[in-house]
Amino acid sequence: MKIIMLGAPGAGKGTQAISIAEKYGIPHVSTGDLFRSNISNKTELGMEAKSYMDAGKLVPDALTVRMLLDRVSKEDCKNGYVLDGFPRTIAQAEVLEAEVKKLGEQIDFAIDVEVPDENIVKRMSGRRACLKCGATYHIVHVPPKQEGICDQCGEALVLRDDDAPETVLKRLNVYHEQTQPLIDFYKARNILHEVDGTKDRESVFKEIVEILGE
């Protein structure tokens, strides 16, 4: 099963993708997480991506596509994956579609997690992220069991550099300009499903499971 998560920054793509990955036994592939792990490891790719990310801009397609295709060619992705944060431009979607077609396969579901802009900025200031395993929490809505510590891997949680309110607003603009057109792209392929991301985490997941099947 190949799934794409769409939605604005902070809509809950990562939160839901982790639950999907666990339930359906497929890897969670987040381009944001891949970039952040490259930044932590101070790789050349990470250093190049960081300046774009901190400015709330998209990392150039060529760099992003290469990194993503390398990741999904790994053995653990052969039965599918849930993509979180990719594609983010029509050009990325076209490359992915062509690559998947080459294997005689297809993307099965594109799930758009809908949250209005006004809810997003509030959510982001309360977000805490684990840069080691990619899990995210919210100090009020999705708190970790122990304050400041990741439930999954025990790492200390941080506020992401790009979650400052002014950067979040820039990311939202970029989303509307460059990523939102993907909704029509996948609608035209009859695989788009919308879920109401303003509900609580469990209710959103329930809607997603109804789409994907038990």
DSSP assigned state of 192: E
d(CA 59, CA 206): 32
Instruction: Using CB positions, name the residue nearest to ligand AP5.
Output: 32
Q: Is residue 211 helix, strand or coil?
A: helix
- Pick from 35, 81, 109, 186: which binds ligand AP5 (CB under 6 A)? 35
From the list 13, 50, 71, 123, the catalytic residue is 13
Is 171 designated active site? yes
Residue 150 interacts with, from Mg ion, ligand AP5, none (CB under 5-8 Å by kind): none
Site for ligand AP5 in 137-196 (CB under 6 A): 137-138, 141-142, 162, 171
In the list 2, 3, 13, 81, the residue contacting ligand AP5 (rule: CB under 6 A) is 13
Residue 71 tokens read as 């990741």
Both structure tokens of 213:
């099947």
Which one, 97 or 104, has the nearer CB to ligand AP5? 97
User: Taking a C-beta distance cutoff of 8 angstroms, is the pair 89, 183 a contact?
Assistant: no
Q: Does 208 bind ligand AP5 (CB under 6 A)?
A: no
**CA 42 to CA 46: how far, in whole Å?**
6
Name the residue type at position 146: Q
For ligand AP5, the closer CB: 108 or 196:
196
- Say whether 189 is catalytic: no
Helix (H/G/I), strand (E/B), else coil: 9: coil
Contact (CB, 8 A) for 127 and 209: no
CB of 14 to ligand AP5, least distance (A): 3
Number of residues that bind ligand AP5 (CB under 6 A): 37
Catalytic residues: 13, 88, 127, 160, 171
